[in-house]
Structure 1
Amino acid sequence: MDGVRNRSWFWSERSTRGAVPGLVLLLALGSACGARAEAGRIASGFVLDEARNRLGRPAGAFACPDPAAPLVDMARFRSRYDPRDPTQSRVDPERERAEAARGSRLASFGNTIAHLSDRAVTARPRDPEIARCVLRHLAHWAEAGALLGSATDNDELGRHQAVMTQAWQLATYAAVLLKVGPEGLDPGALARTRNWIGQLARSVVAEYAADNQWSRHGANHLYWAGLAVGYAGAALQDPGLRDFALRALRRGLADIDETGALPAEIARGSRAAIYQNFATLPLVALVRFGDANGVALSTAEERALDRLLAFDAALARDPAALEARTGVRQAPARDRSSLAWIDVVLPRLRGRDPARAADLEDLAARFAARPAWHAFLGGNAGLVYNPADQRPER
């Protein structure tokens, strides 16, 4: 295993060339950083108590829906994009149809438990029935070994797609488990669910511990892998998973170019704006994860983050500059999912950069970006990251 790690982006000198100082520091002194963080609990970055205090209301009558049938088989994965398209922005209808059933099933399960976990967060007083319902769904999939079957029965691209599906779904599952908390839950079902989440997290980590085109390339896949594993680290109180997430954060901040763009994302043709936003979301959530765990960004990293936010804000207002840069008209990227990163990062900015915070507040209002909902963040992102700016549901 050590030989594999020495070739990966985690440990190689290659990954530090041109990196910001904070990335080099983390790679060189990772054990020292980890030791400091281990003094306390690993935090998710969610502000659940504030959310319940500000937005809580009686839960009312509740009936737990039946869990969906678990999806176990991860074989025969194919990306929905035409493999002949170098920008990976042109959807192949046949490939999309081939994955539609599996994708729909995963989305249905993820969306259901995300909505349930939102309801759990806003229940005041806390309603243990909602939390038990969420665990019932998760434990049902855990006991079946969902998402763990036959992932190796793919070609290299299919295997990576299967692993990234594990990562995106893991982000949802770990986030909702964090949102409901362990109080009043069945210890056996909780232990089985945590074990399953750990298996998914280890599968994702293994993909990036090897030397392959994705560990070298990084981009939004790595950032989402980092966030998913970070949430799992908080759910399981696992320092190794926390440290994987922090390395992904450092790598992502080092990827931001001098204009604030993420080069791999703006190379995605007509979907460049969509992918710039999609990659920003896990990065800012990882920043909040780092903040919650006492990990400060370097000056260079703070500047990179500011460039990213400035670029994304300008892009939301007018995609013309990106269209000139890419040479292609951009698909719309102003919905509440694309702009969910605003509510994730806003509380961090208020004390550091009030002008930037006001600018993003204006964007959120202009494009009706609330509630900022994204299943991969476990549901209502504004609820758990920025409850001060959310309105109670009626």
Structure 2
Amino acid sequence: MSRIRPILLLLLAGTGTLLQPRCFAANDSLVAPQGFSSSIHSNQRTSSDCENAPEPFTGALNFPSKYEGSGSSRDELNVDAERRYKDATSSISSFEIGIASLSSRYIQRGSDADVGCVLSWLDDWAEHGALLGKAETHTGKSVRKWALAAISTSYLRLQQSRSAPLEKHASERSRIEAWLRAIAVKVAAEWPVDAPINKINNHFYWAAWSLVSTGTVLNDRAMFNQGLEIYRIFERQITTDGLLPNEVGRRSRALGYHAYALAPLAMIATFAVANGEAVDTGPKSPISRLAKTVFDGFQAPAGFAGLVGSKQEVSTNVATNFSWLEPYCSIAACDASMTEFLQRNRPFKSTRLGGDLTTLFGTKQP
């Protein structure tokens, strides 16, 4: 099997909306927030079982939407379409979850065998060119950027650890990082910053997060900045009431999609802060207005329904609704109710945000 050649990310031009890159010293590298660089303490050098990676997904990423047949609000679940979607994407979902679990296993135990297992999975999918197929459906494009976010954040936990577990794996790193770049090029083209503003919604925020995390992996400022510019668009979209117009349109599921949009935005903000970018996180800032509206909305759904004009279908999944709290509270002054809720419900985990978020953001690093 031929190896994937690195692909240079082309800058989108002519839109007038891209941020101009700041001037950096030649050796000034992008970094993840401090929790990603924690040292490994257990140092268990024991062997571990390493199951084979799921079959690499090399086909077209054309998947049905679970809201297939719904109206423009796309808030009516199609049970049959959801089943077909889960069946079609099962290998990708298993890969995302597996990579996150294996990376966490290394962080907890410090076994060289665990690092080897993570890299063998990643290298297998890289060698086969997985996730690079054509995507003709909106859902297919969505799956690609979700997978990229999950893979890059799990990889970052190994790459940026002060214990340097990837130091002896130069050849695997080269292949894996070339593959991540190739996926990111497709994501950047599928979710462009010059899309009409009435189209830029939670999907674009997740794409932006995947570009910020992968840009950090690759130390690619153009990629990082493209994700950050989508964040800047969010800052211009948010209303004084802390609402996102393109998520209000989801009607009965508007609250859930506001929370879903907030998760990648909170992660982007933490990475921006870690790299010295000017991001407002004060009490009246865009990210804080959104956080307050979402948090208050889950405490009193009827109040949120009054804001958006539709009774809400409210999920009881704490991880889904509040995964944004750990990263958000690491850079903003959370109020007492948020802090109490956070402490009471820890740990918070999310495969597509870095795994154990409480470990990454909720504890002080040495």
TM-score (norm 1): 0.81
Distance 1:361 1:73 in 2: 44
Matches within 5 A, 1:150-165: 150-151=134-135, 154=136, 158=137, 160-165=138-143
Residue 273 (structure 1) aligned with residue 255 (structure 2): yes
Distance 2:91 2:171 in 1: 26
State the secondary structure of the residue aligned to 1:188: helix
Distance 1:93 1:267 in 2: 21
Q: 1:255 aligns with which of 237, 241, 244?
A: 237
State the secondary structure of the residue aligned to 1:67: coil
Q: Does the CA contact (< 8 Å) of 2:132 and 2:183 recur in 1?
A: yes
Q: CA deviation at 1:263?
A: 2.0
Matches within 5 A, 1:194-273: 194-209=177-192, 217-273=199-255
State the secondary structure of the residue aligned to 1:337: helix
Q: Deviations over 1:321-372 (max 9, x none)?
A: 11233322322255123201111111213xxx3xx34331212245x2x221
Q: What is the aligned partner in structure 2 of residue 47 from structure 1? A: 35
Q: Which runs of 5+ in 1 are unaligned?
A: 16-26, 390-394
Q: What is the aligned partner in structure 2 of residue 20 from structure 1? A: none
Q: CA deviation at 1:172?
A: 0.8
Q: 2:153 aligns with which of 168, 171, 175?
A: 175
Q: Does the CA contact (< 8 Å) of 2:103 and 2:158 recur in 1?
A: yes
> Which deviates more, 58-67 or 304-313?
58-67
Q: What is the aligned partner in structure 2 of residue 130 from structure 1? A: 114
Q: CA deviation at 1:74?
A: 2.2
The number of residues matched between the two structures is: 350
Q: What is the aligned partner in structure 1 of residue 175 from structure 2? A: 192
Summarize the Cα distance change of 1:264–1:38 in structure 2 as closer, same or farther, 3 Å threshold.
Answer: farther
Q: CA deviation at 1:96?
A: 1.9
Q: What is the aligned partner in structure 1 of residue 20 from structure 2? A: 30
Q: Deviations over 1:118-148 (max 9, x none)?
A: 122233xx43222221111111111111111
Q: Does the CA contact (< 8 Å) of 1:316 and 1:333 recur in 2?
A: no
Letter in 2 for 1:262: L
Residue 95 (structure 1) aligned with residue 95 (structure 2): no
Q: Does the CA contact (< 8 Å) of 2:75 and 2:253 recur in 1?
A: yes
**Counting helix residues as a fraction of each chain, which structure ranks higher?**
1
Taking only the aligned residue pairs, the percentage that are identical comes to 24
Q: 1:387 aligns with which of 357, 363, 366?
A: 363
Please tell me the root mean square deviation across aligned C-alpha atoms, in Å: 2.7
Letter in 1 for 2:361: Y
Q: What is the aligned partner in structure 1 of residue 3 from structure 2? A: none
Q: 1:73 aligns with which of 50, 59, 74?
A: 59
Q: Does the CA contact (< 8 Å) of 2:193 and 2:230 recur in 1?
A: no
Q: CA deviation at 1:206?
A: 0.9
TM-score (norm 2): 0.86
Q: CA deviation at 1:222?
A: 1.0
Distance 1:2 1:196 in 2: 16
Distance 2:323 2:282 in 1: 25
Q: Does the CA contact (< 8 Å) of 2:208 and 2:227 recur in 1?
A: yes
Distance 2:328 2:10 in 1: 36
State the secondary structure of the residue aligned to 1:115: helix
Distance 1:3 1:204 in 2: 13
Q: Does the CA contact (< 8 Å) of 1:117 and 1:378 recur in 2?
A: no
